[in-house]
């Protein structure tokens, strides 16, 4: 496992053969397949063939590229570089590995951030995130959405009919982005107007006669200050629903863009973190099925027995399977912890055999 330590295990499976688009995706003999994430942009090009060959020799059946590679795909605005990805896909095919492509939207390039800093999430106190991390752009920002879809369209034009590519992952672990920027304010007001139609209906629904909170038009409504004591709870609830809907529509726009240029046999999904109060999970109308991410050992569960902290809490997989099963006829696990992480409270190495145990638990649970 030394050579695959930087990789993330992923598996695509199904508990049901029939779904709206499952006829060609996963025939019965392929319901338990395992692959590995690979990041060619992290490694010297001379290593790619060796690494992919090792993956194939270990029994992996597919790999996953371009999860966080927007800068490599579009190093300058409107200048696209697919040569490196062409080579990586070619080497994967040479080693009989299918490819899953990602849309890379979780990591906007610095040229975009500096040209349009308004794409960055604005916190409630008015300060902004900055470049240098991931998932720091707002799903409510019009520039971010527009540039994302331009880049995704170029990806789809190049690989949408490529038989070596079996499917697409949108973004990475998408969640609601709570943004206090101008675009978010504008879109929230539009969302409210679409939901309530008239300001009188909104006032009645929100109970704004209390504390003299009545509005005369939608333009008077701001994003709720969640840290301010006594803010209208219905306004806060609608804001949370709005943020969830922004995630859903962003994913649907990405999927629609890909589908305009992709072949019938390429599926589209994303990998949700199991968040049991998230309304956007399962809300998308454009995904062919949904998948989830699960990490088991990062210092927050003791598990069972003296070494349980190196195996994790078994119910985390069981609960995730039970949660996702009713949401979509076809579902699976896109990302499963392969080894030690660097972001937990205590970064223990999983016990030898733990990853195999998790895989069997995932399969047994119907993923």
pTM for the complete prediction? Answer: 0.92
Strand order in the sheet with 32-37: 267-269, 165-169, 98-102, 62-65, 32-37, 9-13, 331-336, 290-294, 271-272
**Taking each helix axis from N to C terminus, what angle separates 182-196 and 199-206, rounded to the nearest 10 degrees?**
90
Question: What integer pLDDT is reported at residue 14 of this predicted model?
Answer: 44
**What mean pLDDT comes out for the span 138-148?**
99
Please report whether residue 53 resides in a domain: yes
pLDDT in tens, 328-362: 888 899 999 999 999 988 899 999 999 999 999 99
Please report whether residue 54 resides in a domain: yes
Question: Which pair of structure tokens corresponds to residue 70?
Answer: 């927007």
Whether the per-residue pLDDT at 191 is higher than 60: the answer is yes
**DSSP code of 348?**
P
DSSP 66-130: -SS-HHHH-SBTTB---HHHHHHHHHHHHTT-EEEEE--TTS--HHHHHH-GGGBPBPTTS-B--
Please report whether residue 220 resides in a domain: no
pLDDT in tens, 201-239: 999 999 999 999 999 999 999 999 988 999 999 999 999
- Can 335 be counted among the known catalytic residues? yes
- Can 153 be counted among the known catalytic residues? no
Please report whether residue 29 resides in a domain: yes
Residue 269 belongs to what H/E stretch? Answer: strand 267-269
- The active-site residue, picked from 173, 286, 300, 313, is 173
Please report whether residue 236 resides in a domain: no
Range of the domain at 335: 2-177+248-364
pLDDT in tens, 257-315: 999 999 889 999 999 998 877 889 989 999 999 999 999 999 888 888 888 999 999 99
CA-CA distance, 167 to 252, in Å (whole number)?
15
Please report whether residue 130 resides in a domain: yes
Interior angle at CA 18, CA 16 and CA 23, nearest 5? 125
Alpha-carbon distances, residue 314 vs 214, 251, 351 (angstroms): 50, 30, 14
Asked if 124 and 225 touch (Cβ cutoff 8 Å), the reply is yes
CA-CA distance, 163 to 265, in Å (whole number)?
8
What is the domain count for the chain?
Answer: 1
What CATH number has the domain bearing residue 119?
Answer: 3.20.20.80
pLDDT in tens, 16-72: 333 345 546 776 666 678 999 999 999 999 999 999 999 999 999 999 999 999 999
CB atoms within 10 A of CB 80: 16
Please report whether residue 213 resides in a domain: no
> Would you call 343 helix, strand, or coil by DSSP?
coil
Please report whether residue 224 resides in a domain: no
């Amino acid at each position: 496992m030394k050579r695959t330590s930087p990789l993330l295990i992923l598996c695509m499976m199904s508990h049901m053969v029939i779904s709206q688009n499952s006829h060609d995706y996963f025939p019965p003999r392929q319901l338990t397949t395992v692959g590995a994430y690979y990041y060619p942009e992290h490694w010297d090009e001379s290593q790619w063939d060796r690494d992919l060959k090792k993956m194939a020799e270990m029994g992996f059946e597919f790999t996953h590229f371009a999860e966080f590679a927007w800068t490599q795909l579009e190093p300058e605005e409107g200048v696209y570089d697919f040569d490196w990805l062409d080579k990586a896909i070619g080497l994967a095919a040479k080693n009989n590995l299918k490819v899953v492509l990602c849309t890379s939207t979780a990591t906007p390039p610095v040229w975009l951030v500096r040209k349009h800093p308004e794409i960055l999430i604005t916190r409630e106190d008015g300060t902004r995130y900055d470049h240098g991390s991931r998932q720091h752009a707002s799903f409510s920002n019009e520039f971010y959405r527009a540039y994302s879809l331009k880049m995704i369209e170029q990806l789809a034009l190049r690989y949408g009919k490529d038989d070596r590519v079996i499917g697409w992952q949108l973004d990475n672990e998408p969640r609601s982005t709570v943004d206090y920027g101008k675009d978010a304010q504008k879109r929230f007001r539009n969302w409210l107007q679409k939901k309530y139609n008239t300001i009188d209906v909104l006032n009645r629904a929100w109970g704004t006669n209390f504390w003299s909170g009545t509005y005369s038009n939608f333009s008077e409504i701001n994003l709720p200050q969640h840290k301010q004591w006594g803010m209208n709870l219905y306004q806060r609830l609608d804001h949370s629903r709005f943020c969830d809907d922004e995630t859903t529509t962003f994913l649907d726009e990405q999927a629609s863009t890909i589908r305009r240029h992709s072949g019938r046999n390429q599926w589209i999904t994303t990998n949700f973190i199991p968040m049991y109060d998230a309304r956007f999970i399962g809300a998308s109308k454009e995904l062919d099925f949904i998948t989830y991410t699960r990490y088991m050992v990062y210092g927050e569960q003791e598990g069972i027995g003296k070494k349980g902290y190196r195996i994790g809490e078994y119910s985390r997989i069981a609960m995730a399977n039970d949660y996702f099963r009713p949401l979509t006829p076809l579902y699976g696990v896109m990302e499963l912890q392969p080894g030690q992480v660097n972001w937990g409270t205590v970064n223990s190495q999983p016990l030898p055999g733990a990853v195999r145990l998790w895989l069997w638990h995932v399969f047994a649970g119907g993923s």
